[in-house]
Structure formats: C-alpha cells, structure tokens
Amino acid sequence: MSDATYRFNKANRTLMQRLFEAPAVGKMSPASKVVAYTLLIVWSAFVIFPIYWVVITSFKDAAAVNQGPYYIPWVDFTPTLDAWRTMFTEDPHCNFTAIARQFWLLIYNSLVWIISPVVSFAPMEPQICKIYLAFTNSVVISTFSTALCVLVGSMAAYALARIQYAPRFGNIMIFVLLLVLVILATTYLGAPWWASATVALALFYFLARALRRHFRLSLGNGDILFWIISQRILPPIVVVIPLYVMFQAVGMLDTHLALILLYAVANMPIVVWLMHDFFANLPVELEESAQLDGATRPRIFWEIVLPLTRPGLAATTLLILVLSWNEYLFAVFLATVKVQTMPIMVAAKNAGEKGVFWWEMCAVIVLMIIPVIVMAILLTRFISRGVLLGAVKG
Amino acid sequence: MASYDSTYQPGARSAGISGRERLGEWIDRHSGTFFIAPAVTMILIFAIFPTVYSIFFALSRVRFMPEGLKFRYVGFRNFAKQFFGSAEVHFLGRTDPVSIFGMVLFAIIVAAVLWWLFRSLRITTWVGMLGRSISAAMAIFLAWILCASLLSGNAIGTLYTTLFYVFVGCAIQFVIGTGLAFLCSQPISGKNFFRVVFFVPLMITPLGVGYAMKMVADVTKGPFEPFLKLVGLQDWVWSADAWSARFIMVVCDSWQWIPFIFICMLAALENIPRDHVEAAQVDGASSVQIFREITWPQILPVAVTVLLIRMIEAFKIVDLPNIMTGGGPGSATESMTLNALYIWRANDLGSSAAIAYLLLILTVVVCASFFNYVVLGQIRKTRA
C-alpha cells in the first residue's frame, strides 16, 4: 500500500470505522478507549472511596459520625481536628520530656538485650503517650526485622544459587526424631527445656558423625529452596500457640526481640524466593575473577553481588517492610503491654460496650497509611521494570 | 602477589598471617555453612519446632496451672471431636438428610476421581501414585461434605466457609486483577496514575481494611444508606443473612488483594514482546484472537503461579470476618483460623491446635495438588 492510498483510505473512513478501528498499529480506537477509561475510572473510584471515607471520618466529630452519612467536608459537615488532637494528648504525660525519656529508654533497651543476662532492662512506662510508644515500636520492630530478614534471607538465597549442598536424608530423620523426643520430654516428663535441648544437640552431633557412612540418599539445593519457600504455607495460627509457650519459657514475651525474630522468619520465604532468582541470573564470571584475585566468599557477596542486585534488593526490602509494618496476629498474641504496635492501637479504639471511636480509629489508620503510601510510590517504580516477574516465573 | 608465594602451604599457619586474615580464611573455607546456617536455624527454631510442638497440643488436654501448662495425653480425641463429636456441625456443617441430587453427584465425582487415579497408574511411579492417592482421598472427602451439606440444602461449616473464601475469592480476584492489568497494558495515557492508585489497598493493614469496610458497608450510617433507601432496601441487613455476609467478606477481601494479582499480571503482560502483538494486528487479527492466541499462552505460567501464591495466603483469612461480623450470623462467616482463635480464647488449647492442624493439612494438600497438576504442567509446557 503506497503512502498516497494509505492517506486516501484514512481520510475517507466512515463514521463507524473511525469509531471502532484503531487509527494505527499500537493505538486504540476511540470506542475502545472510552470503554477502557470508563472501566479504569470506575475501578479507581471503587479503590479510592473506602480510603476517602476513612480520611474524612478522621476529621469528623462524634455527632457527624453518628447522625448518618455526611460526604463532603465544609459542604455537609464541618471538619474538626478533634480526633487528631485526642490522639496526641489523651495521656497526661504526652509532653516533650516524657517522649525524650521514652526515646532514650528505647535505645537503651535495644542495646541492652544483647547483654541482657548481665544488665537488666530498664522498665518502660507503657502509660506514657501510647501513640508515640506504638509508633516507635512499630518503626523499630519493622526496620530491624526487615534488615535481619533481608540480610539472612539473601545470604541463604545466594548460597543456594552458587554453592552445592547435599544434606543427607538420614541426618534429617535423626534431627526430626530428636526434636520429637525433646518436646516429649519437656511436655509430659517436665524436663527443663535447656537441658533437653543441649542433650539432643550433642546426641545429634555424635549420631550424625557415627552414622554418616550408612546414609546414601541426600537432598539437593532445589529441595532446600522448596523447603524454605514452603514455610509460607504454614498458617500462623498453627505456630502462634507453641510460640507463646516458648517465649514465656525463656522470658521473652512482650519484648521487641521476639517480634523482630518472628517477623523475620515469617517473611524469610519471600526474600529467599525473590532474591534467589536475581542471584542465579548474575553472570558467574565476575565472582570467579574476584575469587582468583583472592577475595573471600563473604567479601564477594558483600562488595560485588549485593550492589549488583540493588533494584531487586530495594523492591524486596520495601515489600517486607510493609508486611511487617502491617502484621497483627503475632503482635496481638505476643505483645501484650510494652511492645504494642500500631495495628494493636487501631484495634484498641474498639472499646467494647462503649462502641467504636470511629473518628479516632480512622486517625490512627491514616497515620499508619502515610509512611506506607510513600513506600508504595517508591515500590511501583521498581515494579514497572518487571522486577518481580522473574520470581513469579518460577 | 602474596598468595602465590612458593612457600605457601595450605593448612600451615605461618607467623606472618594476622589473626584477622586467619579468621577470614576460616570463614571462607566454611562459607557454605556460614551462609545458610542463620536462615535454616531461624526457620528450625521459629517454624519447624513450633509446628512439631503443636502436634502435642493437639493430642493433649492442656490446662493452665500456676506452675505452667499441664499436658494430659488424650489421643486423637481433639480431632475426632471435629468430625464426629460436639464440633461436627460447626466444622463440617449439617450433613444429615442427604438429598438424591447430592447422592448422585457424589457418585459421579467419586467415579471421576477413581477413573483419574486408575489412568495415572500407568504414567507415574509409586511415589507419584502415593501423592495422587492423597489428593484423591481429599477430593472425595471434600466432595462428600459438599454434596451432603450445601447441595442437600443444609448449612455449611467453617471448612466450607474457608474453601468458599479461597476458591470464590481467588476466582473473582484473578479475573478482575488480570482484566485491570490487561487494560493498563494497553497504550493509554495516565498509566502510572492508575498503577499507583490500584496498588494502594495492598499497603493498608488488613485490620484497617476490616474496620474501613465495616464503616463503608454499614447499612444505617454508612455512605450507601441513602442509596439503599432509594432502591427500597432500607430494611435489608447484609450481616443477618449467611450468604450475603459471606459474599461481602469476599468482596472486601478482593478489594485488598486484587492489587496483588494486578501488579504481577501487569509485569507479565509488559514482558511480552510488543512486535508479536503488532504483527498480528497488521495481519488483521481481532483483539479477542490476539488475546487468546498470543497473550494468554505467554502469561499462563505466571498466572498459575500467582494464583497459587494467592491461594496460599487466602487460606489464612482471619482479620476481615473477625472485625466485620465477629464470625456471625451464627458461625456463618467463621474461617478455620478464626474458629481456632475463638477456641483459644475459650482456653481450649488442644482443640484450637487440632483445628489449626486440620487447616495446615487442608492447605498443604490443596496447594500441593494445584502445584503438581496445574503449575508444573504449565511450566513444563512452556519450557518444551
């Protein structure tokens, strides 16, 4: 088709053709554009409306919430800052010195838990400015657990992508058997947990060494990877009851460390599964030449591999950060007083028989959403590059 | 270079090497262990150990004593209670009068499953056969409960409520999520705006979503109250009817989780080479044909994997029904996790652990079957 005929045909299309046929390859016809935009806008409204409702409710007072639906501020109700003011001033100690003291205690305690058998924790004062305490708790717990999770998880993912493992099937069987025996001893016979654990570990070491020759069958890297990823299937309700008992036994109930470790483990499968693909796709020559130059494996990992996978690492970190920021089930079981996180503050506004303080609850929800929206905007930049695709491909 | 020195002997500790270098070497030699040990240890302590420990809860009657927990072994009584005892109606639903229709359908399903098992006898090893037998047993059990409760006109229990959330929820989320991703992959302007907006629900804590939805869905003070009045539905309360309450749960769950399907499918769609689609357009293929012949086969492996991940997460649903209806009306919207949570609150730790274990078994069998027969099949087809 020559250029002239093309232009002639294009200029002489009927109305129907103009509406329903695409003007060029890679473009959309006006009719389908209208349909597409309508659907997208309808869905945006569906997505935005509940969020909009939460935001405006946080600026309503009790009367405006209870007297029926009001939709637009300044038009059918007058917005107030009551809910926000209550949130920051409901406790009498919500002043600058109290918050500074709280902040110091937080740093002190997070340093002290390393040497906690020697130095005792300084008691926290949970009645001081609850919302501030919850916010800092959430920040501390989600940052530390994300850092731990991403570091440990990507180390494992890298090892599984580069080093060959062959754990013997027999050793695993011995381990599971000893685990069952330890639990039997502690639950039914009342043996102290640390003694039985030590005995079991020693037994495992000697049995594994003694019987090494007799085990032929061994597993591969793929099996280990599948095992780690399959941990995500585990419903949290299965583990939360024993975890409560476990943390009670070692006196770690209601501590930052307990939640940090738990969130790190719960999100570990996601990190390993996302990062494994990035590491496997890196050219191995770079690492080989670094090894020839005398670099050790940890150094290669830290100085070459991690910087190369920075986009993937960033996306994974942000995802884990959001997941641990929003977690509720573990927190409600294991953090009763001192380390209450933001989701618990949301639930706390449901005051039982007095009803729900919707306006205050909405203010807390909005406060929780703000940092996360910033992350969402950052995260979409990475997702648009198809970063998450490789992992989904399997 | 120092390491190529002719006097270098592996294993010898010369006086010239500093302690730090020796440590580095030691770590390097054991780097295999060093890299994977933290992750494996953490998973063993905080996931495997509690899972095994949980069996002992499920097999015991656990009581709180001043000196700690007291375990008394009761065998499988906690499990038997869910199937034959006091909690049967709550867990399985009412299975009593079975209608003719239910019987016939059950017979057909059993015949189909056995035929599938018989056919696979020739194509798999004995390990594969074992897995298929487990899947078949689960399928027959679920089919029996379905035929005896729902299809015979009886009320369903927490088992099928959970499965309703998983299967109906995942189907709705998958269709809408993929549809939106398809729209957003078209050449339109303002793509980035929609992408950010559609992504936002995933970022809100499930608890917050529960309360936000409770507010929005409120029939007396919620935003839709005037509209309901307009259509003459002012007396309709969705939380009073079992199926409408379940359906609202699915809608709210979808509101939060469609973004997840959306972003994954959008990434998959944008990864398809543009020229394939454009070549088909030049050849005069209709958009339906292009979708069916070019786009769909290429996104299918990603689609089934995303669906699997979503299914795994969907089995854990707890916050939404807990907040929006408290499991009501009756126990119509209770998922298995929520049921376990309520029983734990009533201090019956043994039964709670037993329900949690049943949920684990259900999740593992359903997800493993889906992975083996659907996901692996699709991945193999693309690699071939």
Give the ipTM: 0.84
* Environment class of A75 (CB within 10 Å of its CB; exposed 0-12, middle 13-18, buried 19+): exposed
Q: Specify which of A247-251, B42-46, B197-201 reaches the highest per-range mean pLDDT.
A: B42-46
* B145 CA: distance to closest CA in chain A (Å): 23
Q: How far apart are CA A152 and CA B42, in angstroms?
A: 9
pLDDT tens-digit map of A107-163: 776 676 655 545 555 555 555 677 777 888 888 889 889 999 999 999 999 999 888
Q: What are the distances in angstroms from CA B58 to CA A310, B88, B207, B352?
A: 45, 17, 28, 7
Residue B289 binned pLDDT confidence (cut-offs 50, 70, 90): confident
DSSP state of B239: G
Nearest to residue B52, comparing CAs of B353, B257, B363? B353
CB contact under 8 A, B69 and A22: no
Q: How far apart are CA A262 and CA B166, in angstroms?
A: 26
pTM for the model stands at 0.85
- Residues 6+ positions from B305 with CB-CB distance below 8 Å: A392, A393, A394, B375
Percent above pLDDT 70 for chain A: 85
Q: Is A320 at the interface with chain B, CB within 8 A?
A: no
Q: How far apart are CA A160 and CA B355, in angstroms?
A: 35
Quick one: average pLDDT of B222-244? 82
A389 to chain B: which residues are within 8 Å by CB? 264, 267-268, 271, 302
pLDDT tens-digit map of A51-106: 999 998 888 887 777 777 877 888 777 788 877 877 777 666 666 777 777 677 77
Cα diameter, chain B: 95
CB contact under 8 A, A232 and B367: no
CB contact under 8 A, A44 and B194: yes
Average pLDDT, chain A: 80
What pLDDT shows up at residue A265?
93
Q: Is A251 at the interface with chain B, CB within 8 A?
A: no
HEC-encoded secondary structure of B305-335: HHHHHHHHHHCCCCHHHHHHCCCCCCCCCCC
Query: What DSSP assignment string belongs to A296-323?
Result: -HHHHIIIIIHHHTHHHHHHHHHHHHHH
Tally Cβ neighbours within 10 Å of residue A225: 19
